[in-house]
Structure 1
Amino acid sequence: MGLLSLGTPLDWHESKKYNEHVRHNGITQLINIFKQHFNRSNDQFLWGDEVEYMMIDIDPINKTAKLSIDKDYILNDLNDSDKSLSKSINNNILFHPEYGRYMLEGTPLKPYNGNCIDEYVYVEKNMKLRRLISTQELPKHIKPLTITTFPRMGCEFFTSPPAKPIGPASQSLFLPDEIINRHARFPTLTANIRKRKGHKVGINLPLYPDKFTKLLDDSIPKDRQLFKSDKEPWLGASKPGHIYMDSMGFGMGSSCLQITMQCSDINEARYLYDSLAPITPIMLSLSAAAPIFKGFLVNQDVRWNVVSGAVDDRTFIEKSQEPYPNFKLFGGLDVNKNEILKNNNYDLNEFGDIKNVYSNDGKPIQRIPKSRYDSIDNYLSDFKYDTNYFKDEYNDLNAPINKKVYDRLSKEFPQYFDKYLSNHFAHLFIRDPLVIYSERINQDNELSNDHFENIQSTNWQTLRFKPPGLYRQEENISFKPGWRVEFRPMEVQLTDFENAAYSNFISLLSKAILKFKPNFYIPISKIEINMKLAHNVNSIINEKFWFKSFEDWNLDNDEFIGYDFSWFDRFLNLGNDLLNNDNEVYLKGYSSSYSSTTNLSQMNGINGSISKKNCSNKTIEKINDIDDYGMDQRYTIDDIINGSKDNKFPGLIKLIIKLIAIDLIPNQKHCQDEKLELNLIKLRYYLLLISKRAKGEIPTIANWLRLKTINNPNYKHDSKVSEIINYDLITDCDKLTDLKDRKSVESLFGNVITDYLYSEQYFNTF
């Protein structure tokens, strides 16, 4: 999570004097990166994943489950050459710190080779080793679980050992500072967001309505007077009908699954970034795993808006909000304007600047529509790539930019920064640095990119365009990381099988996008709508999402006929392709007389376990079949993932299966290798998991947890998750993690995938 430099982080009131220094030198470092790497090409498709774990203390005697906040020493042990580092290195894994003291982040030591089918299957083994090694470092009652949110974070005594919410860094009414990672960056980051903002973050989630739900957050203490901020919920920060959260930890203390892919060159990376943008809300919905916050069932399924609110450092004026009584409109900013601008009565210029209002370092005060943790605001454009699908009207959010940065990049270095790249970085650089180390104020801009990363890495968006680093001239940069794209919206899943499946899906889809070059561009504003839809309860089956009309993907559907799940059967089994023209059958999938309307669930013996609802939930706007231009439509996630019901377009899974068939396996008619057979079967079940969730045939984790809660005998239909219910949920998650209990596994995966997970075919892949 961001830079973990060694040094002394400055308090906001001291660090803000260096904001412009960091921005100016950060852009200088960016320019030097482009000078060194702009013409770099032919890099290999490499990729990696990041999985975040929570250490949970499970006590079967007292029937409690709590976040363990005193076992963070294992991070030091696993990175200490005199202790357990060799155990990590020898197993090709690394562990990293995260925001929470109870959290671990595990990654592969070396990236995966995206051109080798064995590497895709190896991912799950690597994930299992991470969990095994971290488990070995912990007491038996402490479990590293991959849950997105801890259900009772912020309730009384949710940590082990107990800690009280009286810390000065967060000033939270609910979260003790003891949950924050001990590295100085993290409490400083927490405090500086609050100090810049001029008040605490305020997150409000709608309560899930049940029979006896009180539409009031009764967990807010009324009489605490430790800090001035204690009265904020009573001044408007807390909303009726919602649960209220007031600290960075509620968001950054949740867990996610992130994937990074290296592209051949900068232009390929730009096209991949743009192509994945419309996929981000789809995968947020497909990975939904967070229906419970602060001991309440909430009326949404994901964490995204919680993390967005948790690091929202915007002042009242930047949000166009009236301040609380006796709070500052400009928060912790020093400005050249003393009078109060009432009722948001001010003018904006075309760049989002409030006219004639500047901070003391000369930067305009701006109207900023979104948190620094949110969905992307601009495409990068593919006009230098051989697709050239992009149109200027797709960037329709009119996001604010740093005009000084834009002019410097576009006018002084147009050979590197066209208007789209200039706009991208100028938008990121509207933000202030949040943590500055006193020892790193002055840097060698030819060798260091810390100032650039200070801004880049604290724009936590659904996608991150990642330039290479800076290196000495004598170094061989061809072996250093190149132009990369990070895919960030997904929630972490409970099992290594699921996390490997989602990781494979994104990496294989990315490779398929680069292979087949579809056109996925839709206006950014429609992606915004989709992000809101993805938050809704059971959005997979209740909502329709804006997506490029199937007819306009610039792909020929006939070229994908046969590359459904039956392709695996035909390749793995003799006799399934012996029709009149078996050469055509094998290469194209089916003979011309074959009807491709075979139902996927029939082909795989699947019986749907969740009934699909009619998509009539008009939560954002009225559902239209076709937009004004006829280029975008509303589709179910099933349509997007599995293809249209009329078989006029393949869907994303067929793109992946064809990629596997023509790029990743030997050129042979039938599988003649046992290892390859096992690998293909595993990939088939990874894709089947995604397919079945998209169809609504198996639940998301969010749906599974919600139903577990509602059906718990201790649940009182009041939307509250008690300590005993929390214990039951966590123990069920633990059983699932290690596939200990077949009944629990079946409740999440259904019979077909469960049979595979308990088969020799599955275990023989490790």
Structure 2
Amino acid sequence: MGYLGNDGNTLTFEESLKYKDQIKKDGIIQFLNLYKKFRNITYKETIKSIVNEKYLPIHWGDEVEAHIVLLDKESKIPKIVPDTHYLFQRVQQDQQEDSEEVAFKLVPEYGGWMIETTPSNPYYSINNLCAVPSSLRERSLKINSYLNPGQKVLYTSTFPILGQIDQKYYYMPQAQTNEHVNEVTQSLFIDDRIISDHPRFPTLSRNIRTRRQEKVNIRVPIFKDKRTNVQVSQYNPDPNFIYMDAMAFGMGSTCIQTTFSAKNFSHARRLYDQLAIVSPLFLAMTASSPIFRGKLAAVDTRWDIIAASVDCRSREERDPQSSKYIPKSRYDSISYFISDEKRNLPQYNDLKFPLNEEIMNFARQKSKEMGLGLENDENYIRHLGFLYIRDPLVLFEKKINVDNEKETLHFENIQSTNWNSVRLKPPPSMDSNIGWRTEFRTMECQITNDENAAFMLLSHIFVRLFYQSDSLNFYIPITKVDINFQRAKQMDAITTQKFFFRTNIHDDGEPIIEELTLHEIFFGKSNVFDGLYKYASQIWESMLKEVFGQNYSIKDTEFEKVWNFIRERTSGEKVTVARWIRNFVNNHPEYQQDSEITNSIAFDLIEAITSISDGTLQDANFTTIF
């Protein structure tokens, strides 16, 4: 979620406006100071040891977000638990009492009922893929051991009845009243007390609404079943859409993310571009969000919902006819490729997207004064111009004037609130021993640890390809990447949609682009494309034979298990979480084919999901992978 320092009181958006230009320029100076110190650092200088010069181990990590819910069997209403402080206290107590370090870190998230776990130390190996499922299983066991009676960890992206207006959908022992508190959000549906009390989160909610000059307006097409009949009211202003009006509906959803160390600054930019191209494919494969505010939607992912939930653009900035038009929310797909490689042809950046020209000129000027040479790197200067069309949203009053040679706070202020499909991450501080990294951000949470691990490992396998192959090239025009995002969110996109993909992936010239199903992209289409599995397995087996000996085979390894799972998922043999949820609802005896998710349906759904997650319920769609 970005910078989580707690530095006292935050400023309202109106109060922050007088500092806006200073914060932006200081942020650029902070980045340039980082760049000056770390521009030539290579991955080899930051890793512990080098087993093989050709096949470097990769430092990488993950973030897994989850909901903490209460299954109240008396009322049969599932409830979120918006006070997870006790979990953080129990982790801290474990660390103090146990001589062995707790193997994961617990991080607060936007919702007071949400948690995020990360491994205490990054994964670090050439081939040790089994470390990831083991880490996720260990985290789940620990978190479950900390929970209070009746509480469960819910790993799907959305809590299905968040925002229901006809009952108390939240569980709040410290505030058992019928009062509806909405000063921050002004929401019809959300009580402000479910937002995490870390000052960053309510400030984001308030300042996004203030900058926008109205509440966020989230409208998701409703799934039209046989008896769907939405009555128009202030809660349902359009019968064709599910209406939501608060940041919690987006930032209250969960995902999995992976972050990878790059060889150097240039390599991080290459990973940024290439991972951005495959990011909508991962969104379609991991789709797990078919229900919002107790209604079935006509989409399978949270992507548009979370984009709308943090959309701070003013009316003028949302108007395509305005000179100030910004086509996307600050949470969306990237809008420019940034690699400095020759294969990043100008024609691929075919999206007309506004830039902060003033900041770009300022960055060029300061780079020249500092002798950095970055002023001649138009692709990266443009990246800064892209980030800095956004305003800072959270300012701490005691952290306005800082030492730009020591701090990175103001750069991170802008960087961490550009929630894009991928993120290029410089070293996190001026005294860091961590190099350049790239974060992959589009995967939705799955029901089981093995599923989450499989998609994390697939992203790792892709990164390994770009460590080992200098010729691999996925570039297509960025407008086609955006079309792929639109297709990825559709119902059952994994099997029903086709996606633009480059088939001459070892050619730096003009792209040959085909529209292929996900199964064809990964496993090939006769006389069109061999499939990414073929290229990945060749590179992977060649690497491991050279490192571990010629008798090494990838057969029956975690590598093959990942690909077998992807084969089953993309062929439709095993359905996405979103389709599984739809099937569960359709088969529930209380479902009236009216798109409505009743309390009982939601209760039974969450009970089934959490039971599959903890292994007490077996389901043929969610078998063990590793």
Residue range with higher mean Cα deviation, 161-170 or 444-453: 161-170
Partner of 1:175: 190
Secondary structure of the 1:413 match is helix
Partner of 1:72: 85
Aligned AA for 1:257? I
Aligned AA for 1:661? E
Q: Residue 212 in 1 paired to residue 227 in 2?
A: yes
**Alpha-carbon displacement from aligned partner over 1:496-527 (angstroms, at most 9, x marks no partner):** 00111000000111111331231110111111
Secondary structure of the 1:90 match is coil
- The alpha-carbon deviation at position 682 of structure 1 amounts to 3.5
**Alpha-carbon displacement from aligned partner over 1:395-417 (angstroms, at most 9, x marks no partner):** 11121111111112235426124
Q: Residue 389 in 1 paired to residue 343 in 2?
A: yes
Partner of 1:4: 4
Secondary structure of the 1:634 match is strand
**Alpha-carbon displacement from aligned partner over 1:108-133 (angstroms, at most 9, x marks no partner):** 11111142x22x21111111121121
Instruction: Specify whether residues 464 and 36 from structure 1 end up closer, same or farther in structure 2 by C-alpha distance, changes over 3 A only.
Output: same
> Which of these residues, 129, 143, 146, is aligned with residue 138 of structure 2?
129
Aligned AA for 1:203? I
Partner of 1:304: 303
Aligned AA for 1:502? F
Partner of 2:515: 634
Unmatched tracts of structure 2, length 5 or more: 48-57
Preserved contact between residue 57 and residue 141 of structure 1 (Cα < 8 Å): yes
Unmatched tracts of structure 1, length 5 or more: 222-232, 322-343, 349-365, 557-628
Partner of 2:609: 733
Q: Residue 712 in 1 paired to residue 591 in 2?
A: no
Residue range with higher mean Cα deviation, 267-276 or 57-66: 57-66
> Which of these residues, 617, 630, 653, is aligned with residue 533 of structure 2?
653
How far apart, CA to CA, are the structure 2 residues paired with 1:701 and 1:99?
Answer: 23
Secondary structure of the 2:410 match is helix
**Alpha-carbon displacement from aligned partner over 1:164-211 (angstroms, at most 9, x marks no partner):** 543201111001111100111111111111111110000001110111
Instruction: Specify whether residues 531 and 165 from structure 1 end up closer, same or farther in structure 2 by C-alpha distance, changes over 3 A only.
Output: farther
Partner of 2:473: 519
How far apart, CA to CA, are the structure 2 residues paired with 1:87 and 1:720?
Answer: 47
Aligned AA for 2:311? D
**Alpha-carbon displacement from aligned partner over 1:139-179 (angstroms, at most 9, x marks no partner):** 13111221100110001321113675432011110011111
How far apart, CA to CA, are the structure 1 residues paired with 2:447 and 2:548?
Answer: 36
Q: Residue 149 in 1 paired to residue 149 in 2?
A: no
Secondary structure of the 2:442 match is coil
Q: Residue 554 in 1 paired to residue 554 in 2?
A: no
Instruction: Specify whether residues 530 and 86 from structure 1 end up closer, same or farther in structure 2 by C-alpha distance, changes over 3 A only.
Output: farther
> Which of these residues, 329, 333, 337, is aligned with residue 375 of structure 1?
333
> Which of these residues, 430, 433, 438, is aligned with residue 485 of structure 1?
438
- The alpha-carbon deviation at position 693 of structure 1 amounts to 1.0
Partner of 1:62: 75
> Which of these residues, 350, 354, 365, is aligned with residue 400 of structure 1?
354
Preserved contact between residue 88 and residue 94 of structure 1 (Cα < 8 Å): no
Secondary structure of the 1:18 match is helix
Secondary structure of the 2:590 match is coil
Preserved contact between residue 348 and residue 478 of structure 2 (Cα < 8 Å): yes
The aligned runs of 1:218-367 (5 Å cut-off) are 220-221=234-235, 238-320=237-319, 344=321, 348=323, 366-367=324-325
How far apart, CA to CA, are the structure 2 residues paired with 1:395 and 1:190?
Answer: 32
Partner of 1:29: 30
Aligned AA for 1:49? D
Partner of 2:124: 113
Preserved contact between residue 29 and residue 366 of structure 2 (Cα < 8 Å): no
Partner of 1:93: 104
- The alpha-carbon deviation at position 481 of structure 1 amounts to 1.6
Partner of 1:201: 216
Q: Residue 456 in 1 paired to residue 408 in 2?
A: no
**Alpha-carbon displacement from aligned partner over 1:33-77 (angstroms, at most 9, x marks no partner):** 110011111445211110001101012343221111133331244
Aligned AA for 2:248? G
How far apart, CA to CA, are the structure 2 residues paired with 1:166 and 1:511?
Answer: 49
Instruction: Specify whether residues 314 and 539 from structure 1 end up closer, same or farther in structure 2 by C-alpha distance, changes over 3 A only.
Output: same
> Which of these residues, 362, 374, 377, is aligned with residue 416 of structure 1?
374
Partner of 2:492: 538
Residue range with higher mean Cα deviation, 717-726 or 35-44: 35-44
Secondary structure of the 1:507 match is helix
Instruction: Specify whether residues 403 and 85 from structure 1 end up closer, same or farther in structure 2 by C-alpha distance, changes over 3 A only.
Output: farther
Secondary structure of the 2:258 match is strand
How far apart, CA to CA, are the structure 1 residues paired with 2:366 and 2:550?
Answer: 56
How far apart, CA to CA, are the structure 2 residues paired with 1:285 and 1:26?
Answer: 35
Q: Which protein shows a greater Rg?
A: 1
Secondary structure of the 2:315 match is coil
Preserved contact between residue 217 and residue 243 of structure 1 (Cα < 8 Å): no
- The alpha-carbon deviation at position 462 of structure 1 amounts to 0.3
**Alpha-carbon displacement from aligned partner over 1:601-643 (angstroms, at most 9, x marks no partner):** xxxxxxxxxxxxxxxxxxxxxxxxxxxx772221111111112
How far apart, CA to CA, are the structure 1 residues paired with 2:579 and 2:587?
Answer: 12
Aligned AA for 2:138? L
Q: Residue 441 in 1 paired to residue 400 in 2?
A: yes
How far apart, CA to CA, are the structure 2 residues paired with 1:50 and 1:506?
Answer: 13
How far apart, CA to CA, are the structure 1 residues paired with 2:115 and 2:403?
Answer: 32
Secondary structure of the 1:55 match is strand
Preserved contact between residue 64 and residue 445 of structure 2 (Cα < 8 Å): yes
Aligned AA for 1:269? A
How far apart, CA to CA, are the structure 1 residues paired with 2:125 and 2:23?
Answer: 36
Secondary structure of the 2:514 match is strand
- Sequence identity (%): 35
How far apart, CA to CA, are the structure 1 residues paired with 2:464 and 2:507?
Answer: 16
Instruction: Specify whether residues 640 and 402 from structure 1 end up closer, same or farther in structure 2 by C-alpha distance, changes over 3 A only.
Output: same
Q: Residue 466 in 1 paired to residue 425 in 2?
A: yes
Instruction: Please give the TM-score of this superposition, normalised by the length of structure 1.
Output: 0.75
Q: Residue 662 in 1 paired to residue 530 in 2?
A: no
How far apart, CA to CA, are the structure 2 residues paired with 1:170 and 1:718?
Answer: 29
Secondary structure of the 1:490 match is strand
Aligned AA for 1:469? P
Aligned AA for 1:728? D
Q: Residue 698 in 1 paired to residue 574 in 2?
A: yes
Residue range with higher mean Cα deviation, 653-662 or 374-383: 653-662
- The alpha-carbon deviation at position 669 of structure 1 amounts to 4.6
Instruction: Please give the TM-score of this superposition, normalised by the length of structure 2.
Output: 0.91
**Alpha-carbon displacement from aligned partner over 1:331-380 (angstroms, at most 9, x marks no partner):** xxxxxxxxxxxxx5x6x3xxxxxxxxxxxxxxxxx321110000000000
**Alpha-carbon displacement from aligned partner over 1:217-239 (angstroms, at most 9, x marks no partner):** 66x45xxxxxxxxxxx8xxxx44
- The alpha-carbon deviation at position 670 of structure 1 amounts to 4.1
Partner of 2:50: none
How far apart, CA to CA, are the structure 2 residues paired with 1:295 and 1:164?
Answer: 22
Aligned AA for 2:68? M
Preserved contact between residue 24 and residue 410 of structure 2 (Cα < 8 Å): yes
Secondary structure of the 2:116 match is strand
Instruction: Specify whether residues 175 and 453 from structure 1 end up closer, same or farther in structure 2 by C-alpha distance, changes over 3 A only.
Output: same
How far apart, CA to CA, are the structure 1 residues paired with 2:403 and 2:72?
Answer: 52
Preserved contact between residue 32 and residue 470 of structure 1 (Cα < 8 Å): no
